[in-house]
Structure 1
Amino acid sequence: MSKTNLYNLDLNLLLVLDAIHGERSLTRAGEKLHLTQSAISHALARLRTHFDDRLFIREGNRMEPTPLCSALHESIDPALKQIVSSIEDRGKFDPGKSTRCFRLGISDYLCTLLLPQILSQVEAEAPGVSIHIAQPTYEQRTPMMQEGKLDIFLGTKRNYSPFIKGEYLFSDREICVVRNDHPQVGKAVREDELASLNFLAFSLSETGQGFLEEYLYRKGLGHRIKLTVQQEVTIPHLVSKSNLVGTMAERLALHFSEFLPIRTAPLPLEDTSFDICQHWHSRSETDAANNWIRGVISKAASSLL
């Protein structure tokens, strides 16, 4: 497809592609768009001609997307959702009437700690609103925000794009967690013990190192890390059944210590604190809907201050 051909594309056809992709059926896609199956078939034929690809292949009773179709849909889906939401809101936002879907980037740590309070407020103020949760890595956050795949992401302060705005929510600190009857670790992890312990590290980075990894590698003890995970909530379960020493957010560790045989132990560092913020793209700075969900998140986080 050339750039010239793009101007010949009826953008309403993208709604048809989106509906077929979601429903996997021409009939159901027609029902969703209030179009006849004949009209849907005609639109699909135009799409196939324009993109020079079958786009959907019938497999039994389902219309399965081709690789090109899946790639197209991944790009146009967030854009279509944003356009539809903007048209429905018309520059305003009424949470009580909205059916908008907010896309939030939240780690499993914050899903455990903060999401229940967020959902409670959304249910009370905006019963028609839905939330889609993703857990992007550090490297994915800015691109997903720029591409409209996220409305908000929550996490620590980092050197994100200058177009990414942020607001402080609450603080926490990194702490070690071990099983209650760990044979080596006492009330705190001592620096002279590090070389004899096996560690479980947590990192949301694709290429960089997490907190524990950086700390141990600086001391030449990176080889003592025996397992690295991207799911922080798995750490309490893993250490409770092994001699591994994990590090995680203290608030989350204390939460799990209420029903798992684990305990916390400070690291041999003076300051392991970090701040959690919510982030949004500058283009959404004055968007009424984005402002509303940010307010919901701020209010939910206030219980952790």
Structure 2
Amino acid sequence: MSKTNPSNLDLNLLVILDTIFTERSLTLAGNKLFMTQSAVSHALSKLRHHFDDRLFVRRGNIMEPTPLCKTIHRNIAPSLKTINQSLADRGEFDPSSSKRTFNLGLSDYLCQLLLPGILKIIEAKAPEISIRIMQTTYEKRTEMLQNGKLDLFLGCPRDYGAGVLKEKLFEDREVCVVRKDHPIQGRVMNEEEMADSEFAALSLSESGLGFLEDYLYRKGVQRKIKIVLQQETVIPALVENSDLVGSMAQRLAEIYAAKGRLRIVRMPLENTEFEVSQHWHSLNDSDPAQQWIRSVIKEVATALPPLGLT
């Protein structure tokens, strides 16, 4: 019989492969599985023999997966997650009794906007359910949906591939915040003020381009970016004590402006509106648990007030 025949493989080894892939460390994988490092190493040797591939290559302290390992993991991870979730839910999802953990990809901006409402519903309807919030770059989101690390993520619609489905939640607009006594005094900065200012900007892309930078690039407009962050809620603290101009989503900017230390100003640009959608993999489209958490997020997003004018 072939080595690659499933009957020749202890399926528990796939759990170990999945854990090594996630942790990128034999020691951490062993800790998570309550196994010694030598036991994990022995299991990895069996996997290598079975697949006739090294599967993981050590790079310093990191165990990097080989191309074959990535392919195997991409195919088995969703199934392993489904099995674990089915066992936890005893084959039937009931939010009132489920002990499932949902992995949600939310930026800090979306956490501040939506997380209190999501937790309120979970506390009332599903007290044993827990959630894990993960921040991701645009480039990693599809992969994390495919390998089961994320149940869903929220963000601006992009081309994430044919297997990723989406649902619009709400609209927002890119604006700027400045300290109360900033030299820019008008409600809309002029082009000269925009060209002379230094900006604190958000980017969730490995390329360094955020939503606004991508938009400006296509318009042929350049800004002086002093600092780029992945944490949008840090921007107000930087702006409050400097001449920096911070780029933010309007709904978040209004929360900080209401505290009285910052002002909202608009850029001399049109169409800085953007949509926020929830995205999930088509493999999980019919999963009752995922349908439920998507409905919770939709309910909270629908309750947001309409986007006003600044």
For this structure pair, what is the TM-score category when the shorter chain's length is used for normalisation? 0.7 to 0.9
2:178, 2:265 within 8 Å by CA — same for their partners in 1?
A: yes
- Within 5 Å, which residues of 2 pair with 1:34-113? 47=43, 49-51=45-47, 67=63, 80-89=80-89, 92-113=92-113
Q: 1:131 to 1:189 in 2, by over 3 A?
A: same
The answer to whether 1:124 aligns with 2:131 is no
Q: 1:288 to 1:190 in 2, by over 3 A?
A: same
Please tell me the residue identity of whatever aligns with 1:105: G
Identity, % of aligned pairs?
50
1:105, 1:136 within 8 Å by CA — same for their partners in 2?
A: yes
Please tell me the residue identity of whatever aligns with 1:123: E
Distance between the aligned counterparts of 2:291 and 2:303, measured in 1? Answer: 19
Distance between the aligned counterparts of 1:222 and 1:41, measured in 2? Answer: 52
Aligned to 1:192: 192
Q: Secondary structure of 2:81's partner?
A: helix
2:177, 2:253 within 8 Å by CA — same for their partners in 1?
A: yes
Aligned to 1:251: 251
The answer to whether 1:288 aligns with 2:288 is yes
Aligned to 1:202: 202
1:92, 1:289 within 8 Å by CA — same for their partners in 2?
A: no
Aligned to 1:236: 236
The answer to whether 1:24 aligns with 2:31 is yes
4+ residue runs of structure 1 moved beyond 6 angstroms? Answer: 40-43
2:194, 2:267 within 8 Å by CA — same for their partners in 1?
A: no
Distance between the aligned counterparts of 1:15 and 1:146, measured in 2? Answer: 17
Aligned to 1:135: 135
1:195, 1:221 within 8 Å by CA — same for their partners in 2?
A: no
Q: 1:281 to 1:44 in 2, by over 3 A?
A: closer
Please tell me the residue identity of whatever aligns with 2:294: R
The answer to whether 1:264 aligns with 2:244 is no
2:203, 2:230 within 8 Å by CA — same for their partners in 1?
A: yes
Q: 1:183 to 1:202 in 2, by over 3 A?
A: same
Distance between the aligned counterparts of 1:25 and 1:203, measured in 2? Answer: 32
Distance between the aligned counterparts of 1:269 and 1:66, measured in 2? Answer: 45
Which sections of structure 1, spanning at least 5 residues, go unmatched? 31-39, 54-64
Distance between the aligned counterparts of 1:220 and 1:16, measured in 2? Answer: 50
Aligned to 2:23: none
The 10-residue stretch of structure 1 (268-277 or 88-97) with the greater mean CA deviation from structure 2: 88-97
Which sections of structure 2, spanning at least 5 residues, go unmatched? 21-26, 50-60, 306-310
Distance between the aligned counterparts of 2:158 and 2:62, measured in 1? Answer: 38
Deviations 1:253-279 (A, max 9, x none): 111223361110112123221111111
1:67 is displaced (CA, Å) by 3.1
1:100, 1:130 within 8 Å by CA — same for their partners in 2?
A: yes
Distance between the aligned counterparts of 1:25 and 1:195, measured in 2? Answer: 52
Aligned to 2:24: none
Q: 1:207 to 1:51 in 2, by over 3 A?
A: same
The 10-residue stretch of structure 1 (3-12 or 186-195) with the greater mean CA deviation from structure 2: 3-12
TM-score by length of 1: 0.79
Please tell me the residue identity of whatever aligns with 1:138: Y
The 10-residue stretch of structure 1 (223-232 or 233-242) with the greater mean CA deviation from structure 2: 223-232
CA RMSD after TM alignment: 3.4
TM-score by length of 2: 0.78
The answer to whether 1:4 aligns with 2:25 is no
1:186 is displaced (CA, Å) by 2.1
Aligned to 2:56: none
Distance between the aligned counterparts of 2:130 and 2:225, measured in 1? Answer: 39
